[in-house]
Amino acid sequence: MGRLRLQSSINAIEEEPEECEATSSNKSALGCMINSEIGAVLAVMRRNVRWGGRYVSGDDQLEHTLIQSLKTLRRQIFSWQHEWQSVNPSLYLQPFLDVIRSDETGAPITGVALSSIYKILTLDVLDVNTVNVDDAMHLVVDAVTCCRFEVTDPASEEVVLTKILQVLLACMKSKASVMLSNQHVCTIVNTCFRVVHQAGSKGELLQRIARHTMHELVRCIFLHLPDVDNTEQSLVKGGSSVKNENAGLDTDYNFSGKSENGSGASEFDGQLSSGVYNSASSGLIGGMMDESIPRNDNGKDAVPYDLHLMTEPYGVPCMVEIFHFLCSLLNVVEHSGMGLRANSLTFDEDVPLFALGLINSAIELGGPAIRHHPRLLSLIQDELFRNLMQFGLSMSPLILSMVCSIVLNLYQHLRTELKLQLEAFFSCVILRLSQSRFGASYQQQEVAMEALVDFCRQKTFMVEMYANLDCDITCGNVFEELANLLSKSAFPVNCPLSSMHILALDGLIAVIQGMAERIGNGSLGSELTPVNLQEYTPFWMVKCENYGDPEHWVPFVRRRKYIKRRLMIGADHFNRDPKKGLEFLQGTYLLPEKLDPQSVACFFRYTAGLDKNLVGDFLGNHDEFCVQVLNEFAGTFDFQDMNLDTALRLFLETFRLPGESQKIQRVLEAFSGRYYEQSPLILANRDAALLLSYSLIMLNTDQHNVQVKKKMTEEDFIRNNRHINGGNDLPRDFLSELYYSICKNEIRTTPEQGAGFAEMTPSRWIDLMHKSRKTSPYIVSDSRAYLDHDMFAIMSGPTIAAISVVFDHAEYEDVYQTCIDGFLAVAKISACHHLEDVLDDLVVSLCKFTTLLNPSSVEEPVLAFGDDAKARMATVTVFTIANRYGDFIRTGWRNILDCILRLHKLGLLPARVASDAADDSEMSSDPGSHGKPLTNSLSSAHMQSIGTPRRSSGLMGRFSQLLSLDTEEPRSQPTEQQLAAHQRTLQTIQKCHIDSIFTESKFLHADSLLQLARALIWAAGRPQKGSTSPEDEDTAVFCLELLIAITLNNRDRIGLLWQGVYEHIANIVQSTVVACALVEKAVFGLLRICQRLLPYKENLADELLRSLQLVLKLDARVADQYCEQITQEVSRLVKANATHIRSPMGWRTIASLLSITARHPDASESGFEALTFIMADGAHLSPSNFVLCADAARQFAESRVGQTDRSIQSVDLMAGSVSCLVRWAQDAREGTAEAEAAKLCQDIGEMWLRLVQGLRKVCLDQREEVRNHALLSLQMCLTGVDEIHLPLGLWPQCFEMVIFTMLDDLAEIAQGNPQTQKEYRNIEGTLVLALKLLTKVFLHLLNELSQLSSFCKLWRNVIGRMEKYMKLKVKRGEKLLELIPELLKNTLLVMKTKGVLVPTSTLGGDNVWEQTWLHVNKIFPSLQSEVFPNHDSEPLHSNPVLGESASDQTE
């Protein structure tokens, strides 16, 4: 019931009985101690003449009662047999207390008696179990607070006062202090304060002790607040309404003191009386406050505590009294205005500082328990905070600092009860003082900024400001303002960096790091869906179901913030065109489709930034809708228990009162109607309210318009308002109060535009207290990142700019490190909340500080970099961000690459940056590859540039350059400083892990990877035809290396990169006309990509292989230079990936590349090797590549580059490929349907025809061995294909296109000029083979051919060719002339045997018999009789075989 709960430890004495001896010795010890104190007091008394003799009273001589009582106690003390706890303490305290109370004793005696009491209190003799302890404690307090003594000298007086303080503090610290009543505690504090007050005119030591004691007392008392029961029943009659309570105290219970030093005596009277200690010497102003500020919410004193409660054991009532007293100590300044300059150092800052220190102690110890006690809470919410707002604008940095400390403590413990008060403090104090434009001194700015930074270090402060204030349409954007303030304050504008800039930076980084720390705790903003309003709901009615559950309040505050932003945009539109502004809000569902008065009124009431002139014009309009809006607008105000002038001030602050009288009339009618509804106590009716309001407006104009010379007096004002209250007069006091209020404080009918940071006027404070009852509950945030995405989006830009500027201006490494921490925190937040633009901005900003992008003006950029700590730290940070958060970098890659290229130019990159990226993964065996993985074919051995040699790169290369002494120019030995700088540079680059960006690119998000590739292409620049500078080419080569590296590292995402990579390489290839490192890198990089990716990306195989056609587009000179290496790479490609190349298009590219090499002296060997790999034993031949490979083999056969053996091997490859056709034909017949088999056979026939056509061409080769071998191979291909079952119609075609054409061509060569004959040696041998081939093939196929309708024509052609060859005139042609009759004869015999050549009666061109002899007889007339000796006889039974006889003859 508002009192202290007894602590269990107090019973310890009872619970632990001691042994008898110990108890008796303890008793004796206490008895001796008290005895010695009696002796001490008596000894001092005896030194005084007054007490040394005897007093005579009548006839008897008696001792003085004070001495008598002490002696009596001395006699009794050793006779008490009981425990000390069972002895009434009054028995042994009373004699000492009598001495203290006596006004006859001098200061020394009183001092000794006080010391005795102090000693007894500190020995823990008294505790809650002691008999009558409550009476004893009350006696002590009463006696000490009413202590009287004669003052003999100032020093002794100070001693006594010090001891009084000692005893009072000991009372409060004693275990028995819980038995003190509320009134006694108040008396103790009152007495102590009077000593503090008196000490002002005494010595410094007493002052210090008195203040310290006061602090200790307050701490002792409020330390127990958490242990106090709930206070509900400690109020009068059970305290029915907590809301209306306040700190106002009944006049019977207030602190006071009176000093009577004139008679040379000090007297402390323990009464409680009204007000602050009234003494001229105190410098304090009597009274609570100026009349202009009501003492509490409702203008009346709150219900006082009753007398009975004040005599109960102490608890909340005395704490309320004391706290109220401490607050009243602050009411020492006129509250005529709370402006910045109104409160200067003209009054002593000592008292407010003292009071604020005590209040701070009370709040520190009371802490969260205060919220359970409505009266204490109410004091803090209203009176204390109002004073803090005032003292916050003090010119004294000490006071401001203490105010800020108190507000920080209040934030920690009671922020849920102080939402609007905190907003007001930040808006009207911190934001005003922190900026010089409001006239604050540098010290004020610094203290305010320090306080703000302290708040920022509270992890949830900014989140709660944002959730509670920025996302509330009725509050200001405090988070946004504070974040902007910190950003701006960190900017050094035209001045060097100061401590203030660093302080602001600390605050900014504290906020950012708080966000970064919350990232791992879940609920990231990226999961939050964007807010969208789909239908109209009254925005001022939006409520949250549960303010304690993030599931509910997070979407709620985000929705409210969205509405607030839209309202601000609507306000902007409204200020330009009211009609369009309202239409915009209807379009965004913030106003209903059909406007209603309430919604428009609430828009005017709750939207910041509206043009108050336009609002005033709208509200004053005579249009019916506008009048309805005006009445609804007035209805949004709460004028409950407000003075009329205060209500009018608040009403007219929200818009500009129109100038026309009719409009003023309408506005005041609406106001007075609302005011009368809510405050009908004094005014009789609405008319009275209206007339008085008009009168106040006129008085205001009269008093504050400079053009009015004769001002209205109080009497004039009262006279003007006679009989307006329903025919009666209003109370004179009431009117006087209104008159003076208007005179002192003008009602501004032209309120300032815009949000700004308004001053906290009394009327605004009253309004704030009204609003605080209705405002939504305070949202407490935990350590999860609910709103960080939205908050960071607001502050990221200014934050990056501010940190960058400080970093730029800073000169010390600790500041650098602070900035770097900030940059890394920004990067972390940007990445985790997917704010790619922010991260790009950060990267751009940081890259500037690396100095790597600056045009190099220094002689030794490497050493300059080594000496520049800022540049090195920035460089490490850039690459740390690139490695950690690369997934979310987009355009920033360009800047990062610029830095990398600069390091490359300086030779500072590790040599492995580009190579490792690809080589590491290449060496790892892949489960998809067969056998051992291929070693890197494009290692440095193959990649030695044929163009310009590259200068030494890599760290060691750069280092060796620095140290080299044997260069052309003699260089001096580097100094130690240079070596150290160089060493620092190398260490920095190692810390950057630049190579990881590329080796780990396979883990980058797709968007980021694509941007990185584009940045590389962009950094390489477009290749130009003609000469480029070696430096540009070096850059382009390096970029290409990196591009190829990331392409190889991302084989699973090659589709994403391929288009850009291919186009870049194509540009290089097509624009290069001379061999150089760039085109070399492009061509071999392309081959390498194909080599590596073909096994994994079958769906891209065609595209990859098609890209190799770029090689065919190389300028002839360039191609010639690289042909051998290209062929080696193609050969490797084929060997590794033959099974993965399936499409004709892919093979066409490969075949084209191989064919080109046939005539290149260096490359042909590798090309032939690759072709052999494909064709030998038909290992990798397929229908898709058969014709292409045959054609390539033909080109190798015809090539004169290699040895004749290679041509013969090529012919063998061609001939050997027939076995594949046979195999495919068999497979087709066995495994496929009839229709498909027929189609496949047709395709095989066409392939075979192309093959034999190719062999036919080789048969014309100038080299005898080659053409003869080709003829025999052709013969084999023509006669060894029975199993293919070629279509019958193919043979006439074959004879025509292959055999006859070949014979004709050979004949033509044989008949040629001497030069030709010289080139074709031994042509006659070839002619013999050719004729044999003709007859062999013809006879081999005779059965099939004879069934053809065109057989006769074919046969005529055979005879015709023999006839032609008979007529040939060649050297050594005898053999030919001998062979032809024999071949013809054998042919005829076989035809006769097979029944093809038989006499028939048919006439015409198709008669074989007739046509045969018609032609044969022209050459060999005798043959007919040889073949048919007897035309009429039976056919011969002998069956000679032409092949054997012919071959025998040949042999």
Cβ count near 159 (within 10 Å): 18
pLDDT in tens, 198-217: 888 888 899 999 999 999 99
592 touches 536 (CB < 8 A): yes
Decide if pLDDT at 140 tops 60: yes
Position 857 confidence tier, pLDDT thresholds 50, 70, 90: low
Average pLDDT of 1215-1238? 83
Count helices and strands (H / E) in the chain: 67, 4
pLDDT at 806: 93
pLDDT of 1153 = 87
User: Which one has a higher pLDDT value, 264 or 760?
Assistant: 760
- For the stretch 1430-1443, pLDDT in tens is 764 344 333 333 33
Map tokens 């084929």 to a residue.
1134
The DSSP result for 781-820, as a single string, is P-SS-SSHHHHHHHHHHHHHHHHHHHHHH--SHHHHHHHH
> Does residue 188 have a pLDDT over 60?
yes
Q: Report the run of H or E that residue 208 belongs to, with start and end.
A: helix 204-223
Give pLDDT tens digits for 878-902: 999 999 999 999 999 999 999 999 8
**133-152 exposure pattern, b = at least 16 Cβ within 10 A, e = fewer:** bbebbbbbbebbbbbbbbee
Is a pLDDT exceeding 60 seen at residue 284? no
CA–CA separation, 776 vs 944, rounded Å?
75
Higher pLDDT, 1407 or 1205: 1205
What per-residue confidence (pLDDT) applies to 1403? 61
What's the average model confidence in pLDDT over 239-268? 35
1369 burial via Cβ count (<10 Å: 0-12, 13-18, 19+):
exposed
Q: What is the pLDDT of residue 863?
A: 86
The residue with greater pLDDT, 437 or 987, is 987
**The dihedral of CA 1053, 1057, 1059, 1065: what is its sign?**
negative
pLDDT at 541: 81
Instruction: Output the average pLDDT for the chain.
Output: 81
In this predicted model, what pLDDT tens digit does every residue of 408-423 receive, in sequence order? 999 999 999 999 999 9
Mean pLDDT of 112-131: 89
Q: Tell whether the model's pLDDT for residue 1 goes beyond 60.
A: no
Q: Is residue 1447 over pLDDT 70?
A: no
Give pLDDT tens digits for 531-542. 777 778 888 888
The pLDDT assigned to 915 comes to: 61
Helix axes 1351-1366, 1374-1393, angle to 10 degrees: 160
Banded model confidence at residue 908, pLDDT cuts 50, 70, 90: confident
In whole angstroms, what is the distance from residue 1059 CA to residue 1336 CA? 56
| Predicted pLDDT at 103 | 86
3-class secondary structure, 6: coil
35, 39, 41, 44: CA torsion to nearest 10: -170
First to last CA, the chain: 138
Give me the helix-helix angle, 624-635 and 597-606, nearest 10°.
Answer: 50
Q: Is there a catalytic annotation at residue 811?
A: no
pLDDT at 332: 58
> How does residue 502 score in pLDDT terms, banded at 50, 70 and 90?
very high
Look at residue 345 and tell me whether its pLDDT is greater than 60: no
As a whole number, mean pLDDT of residues 480-489 equals 94
**Partners of 60 in beta bridges:** 57
- Separation between Cα atoms, residue 863 and residue 866, nearest integer Å: 5
Strand partners, 265: 150
**Strands 60-62 and 55-57, bridge-based pairing:** antiparallel
Q: Partners of 313 in the beta sheet?
A: 181
Angle at 270 between CA 267 and CA 274, to 5 degrees: 110
Q: Which residue has the higher pLDDT, 288 or 188?
A: 188
Name the residue with higher pLDDT: 437 or 1167: 1167
pLDDT digits (tens, 9 = 90+) for 505-549: 999 999 999 999 998 776 654 456 777 777 788 888 888 888 988
Of the pLDDT bands very low, low, confident and very high (cuts 50, 70, 90), residue 466 is very high
- Considering the chain, what percentage of its residues have pLDDT values greater than 70? 83
Closest among 264, 273, 271, 270 to 146, alpha carbons compared: 270
- 516 close to 831: Cβ distance less than 8 angstroms: no
Helix/strand/coil for 1227: helix
* Residues contacting residue 413 through CB under 8 Å, at least 6 positions apart: 363, 366, 367, 368, 370, 371
- Asked whether 1241 and 1228 are in contact (CB, 8 A), the reply is yes
- Per-residue pLDDT, 306: 66
Could you tell me the pLDDT band of residue 303, with boundaries at 50, 70 and 90? Answer: low
* Residue count of the chain: 1451
Does 8 score more than 60 pLDDT? no
- Tokens 């059965």 locate to 1343
Whether the per-residue pLDDT at 394 is higher than 60: the answer is: yes
Task: Give the pLDDT mean for 1064-1080.
Answer: 88
- Confidence at 230, pLDDT banded by 50, 70, 90: low
Sole residue written with tokens 């007069």: 729
Residue 235 pLDDT exceeds 70: no
- For tokens 């907003």, name the residue: 423
- In angstroms, the Cα distances linking 625 to 644, 666, 1050 are 27, 13, 68
The pLDDT score that the predictor gives to residue 276 is 31
Residue 938, pLDDT above cutoff 60: no
125 pLDDT higher than 60: yes
Q: Decide which of 598 and 538 is more confident.
A: 598
Lowest mean pLDDT among 47-56, 932-941, 1331-1340: 932-941
CA 26 to chain centre: 71
Here the tokens at position 1305 are 């061509």
Mean pLDDT confidence for 907-923: 63
Residue 656 has pLDDT above 50, yes or no: yes
Using CA atoms, how far residue 633 sits from 269, 613, 788, 1129, in Å, is 57, 16, 36, 85
3-class secondary-structure state, position 57: strand
Least confident of 70-74, 287-291, 965-969, 1265-1269: 287-291
The pLDDT, as a whole number, for residue 757 is: 59
Cα 55 from Cα 53, distance rounded (Å): 7
Tell me: pLDDT of 919 over 80.
no
Among the listed ranges 246-260, 455-469, 810-824, which one has the minimum average pLDDT value? 246-260
As a whole-number percent, the residues of the chain with pLDDT over 90 amount to 35
Q: Is 1095 a residue whose pLDDT tops 50?
A: yes
Q: What is the pLDDT of residues 1186-1226, one digit of tens each?
A: 999 999 999 999 888 878 888 999 999 999 988 888 888 88
Least confident of 226-235, 351-360, 649-658, 1233-1242: 226-235
Tokens of 936: 């890197």
Distance of CA 1231 to the CA centre of its chain: 63
For 1013-1057, write each residue's pLDDT tens digit. 999 999 988 776 666 788 888 899 999 999 999 999 998 888 899
Cβ proximity of 250 and 309 under 8 Å: no
CA 620 to chain centroid, in Å, comes to: 49
In angstroms, the CA 1112 to CA 175 distance is 103
Given the residues 660, 746, 1374, 1444, the one annotated as active site: 660
Give the pLDDT of residue 155.
Answer: 87
pTM for the full model?
A: 0.79
Residue 441 confidence (pLDDT) above 50 = yes
**CA-to-CA separations, 1089 to 484, 643, 1006, 1078, 1117, in angstroms, rounded:** 51, 86, 19, 16, 24
1111 to each of 659, 1087, 1192, how far by Cα in Å? 86, 9, 17
